């Protein structure tokens, strides 16, 4: 079973939001086969606790604006690893040290990668 179209749309919204706040190393993983209740994991890295919080807040705001309901949020107070559960999409926003330590890419290495299309950034003067 592959990720649903709804999960893929949610991924694009969340990835664009993360990118707009400086999120790095964005990876989408199709976890629909081993986890029947979830379609996609989005993994994002932030450079500091403040950056992790800003990325998580922006993702949450954009998905809520698009009409998606948040089921659960964890880790916002410490902002070292924030988990946002939107049903079809679960977002993991990590501080870079936590991302390396927990290595979710290693744990889910058998899951296909879902392509992410980010909007091009306009660079002034070009």
Two tokens at 46? 């932030």
User: What is the rounded CA–CA span in Å between residue 5 and residue 23?
Assistant: 23
Residue 34 DSSP label: T
Instruction: Quote the pLDDT of residue 1.
Output: 64
Instruction: Give 63-72 pLDDT, tens digit per residue.
Output: 999 999 999 9
Two tokens at 4? 């649903």
Q: Domain 5-114: give its CATH code.
A: 3.30.460.10
Instruction: Quote the pLDDT of residue 118.
Output: 86
Mean pLDDT across the chain, nearest whole number? 93
SS3 content of the chain, % helix, strand, coil (to 5): 35, 25, 40
Instruction: Quote the pLDDT of residue 122.
Output: 59
């Amino acid at each position: 079973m592959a990720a649903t179209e709804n999960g893929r749309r949610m991924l694009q919204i969340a990835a664009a939001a993360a990118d707009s706040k400086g999120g790095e190393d964005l990876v989408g993983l199709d976890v629909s086969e081993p986890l029947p209740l979830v379609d996609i994991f989005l993994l994002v890295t932030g450079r500091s606790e403040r950056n992790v919080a800003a990325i998580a807040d922006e993702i949450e705001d954009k998905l809520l604006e698009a009409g998606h309901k948040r089921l659960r949020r964890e880790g916002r107070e410490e902002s070292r690893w924030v988990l946002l559960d939107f049903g079809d999409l679960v977002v993991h926003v990590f501080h870079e040290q936590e991302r390396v330590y927990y290595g979710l890419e290693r744990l889910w290495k058998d899951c296909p990668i879902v392509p992410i299309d980010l909007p091009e950034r306009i660079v002034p003067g070009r």
